[in-house]
A and B are shown apart, each in its own frame.
Chain A
Amino acid sequence: MITGSSVQSTPAEAHNAASSIYVAPSLASALDALSECGAAGAVFAGGTWIMRSPIRHEPLRARYVAIGRIAELGAVRIGTDVVEIGAAVTHAALAAALADLPEFDVLAAAAGRSANPAIRAMATIGGNLATPGFAAADCVPALLCLEAEIEVAGRDGRERMKLEHFLKIRSTLAPDRLVTQVVVPRSERKTAHARLPLRKAGDYPVAIVSLSVSVDAAGQVQAARIAVGSVEPVARRWERLETALIGRSLDAEEAARTAAELADEFVGRDGIDAPAWYRVSVLPGLVRRAAATALGA
Chain B
Amino acid sequence: MALSLTVNGDRLASTADPATPLVDILREELHLTGAKPVCREGFCGACMVLIDGKPTPSCLTPAALADGCEIQTVEGLATHGQLNRIQAALDASDAVQCGMCFPGMVVSLTHLLTTRPDATREDIRAALTGNICRCTGYERIIDATLLALATK
Contact = CB atoms under 8 A, between A and B. Distances in A.
26 contacts: A1-B13, A2-B10, A2-B13, A3-B13, A4-B14, A4-B16, A7-B20, A10-B20, A10-B28, A14-B20, A14-B40, A21-B64, A47-B60, A47-B61, A48-B60, A51-B62, A52-B60, A115-B130, A116-B42, A117-B55, A117-B127, A118-B55, A118-B130, A119-B57, A119-B130, A202-B130
A64 B62 CA distance: 11
Contacts of B126: 117, 201
Interface string B123-151: 00011011010000000000000000000
A66 B2 contact: no
A48 B42 contact: yes
The dominant DSSP class at the A interface is loop
Interface string A95-132: 00000000000000000000111110110000000000
A21 B56 CA distance: 19
A44 B67 CA distance: 15
Contact of A51 (B2, B21, B48, B54): B21
B118 interface: no
B29 A5 contact: yes
Given A11-B37, A51-B21, A1 B4 contact: yes
A51 B4 contact: no
B45 A55 contact: no
Interface of A: 1-11, 13-14, 16, 18-21, 23, 44, 47-48, 51-52, 54-55, 60, 64, 66, 68, 115-119, 121-122, 201-202
A271 to B, nearest CB: 15
Interface in B1-34: 2, 4, 10-21, 24-25, 28-30
A4 B15 contact: yes
Nearest to A3: B13
Contacts of A44: 62
User: Which 10 residue pairs spanning A and B have beta carbons closest together?
Assistant: A116-B130, A21-B64, A19-B19, A116-B129, A51-B60, A21-B18, A10-B24, A4-B29, A4-B14, A202-B129
Contact of B42 (A2, A16, A119): A119
